[in-house]
Amino acid sequence: MGMILDTHIFLWWLFDDPKLPRQIESHIADVKNPIYISAASVWEIATKYRLGKLPDASKVAENVPEWIFKAGFQPLAITPEHAQLAGSWKNVHRDPFDRMLAAQSKIEKMALASVDKAMTSFPIDIFGVNG
């Protein structure tokens, strides 16, 4: 089953971070499962690195698309339909990156791998929020 990775999950995978829940790690490691990284995550990594919020991600931030390819993941483009839903959802969650990931998860009918409990405010399938 295809799955979209939340930005932190993607970074934790790349850095082999122990914060990555085992159930998510196992799902990602199974080569039968297509894994997608949203253009919103590329934007988020580049933005947060520039702002000094991801100082340890310099190598990734220099060329995120290359890291997506190296990891064996698929890029997920942002469509006008994704943008429409992300912007129009009547939801108090204000983070534009999270809103886009949730919209893509809903429209593409793929679970979002995340441990961010705030994502449960969206009507999407979240893999790992309780893990």
**Structural domain span for residue 69:** 3-29+39-127
| In a domain? residue 78 | yes
- Joined together, the tokens standing for residue 77 give 């483009």
To the nearest 10 degrees (0 to 180), the angle between helices 80-88 and 96-108 is: 120
Per-residue pLDDT of the chain (131 residues; tens, 9 = 90+): 799 999 999 999 999 999 999 999 999 999 999 999 999 999 999 999 999 999 999 999 999 999 999 999 999 999 999 999 999 998 777 899 999 999 999 999 999 999 999 999 999 999 987 64
Does residue 110 form part of some domain?
A: yes
Domain count for the chain? 1
What is the model's pTM? Answer: 0.94
- Whether 97 maps to a domain, the answer reads yes
The answer to whether position 105 is within a domain reads yes
* Beta pairing class for 3-5 and 74-76: unpaired
* Continuous H helices in the chain: 7-14, 22-29, 39-50, 58-62, 64-70, 80-88, 96-108
Task: For residue 34, tell me if it sits in a domain.
Answer: no
Q: Please report the DSSP string for 8-38 in residue order.
A: HHHHHHHTT-TTS-HHHHHHHH-TTS-EEEE
pLDDT for the residue numbered 92: 74
Give the CATH number of the domain where residue 118 resides: 3.40.50.1010
85 lies in a domain? yes
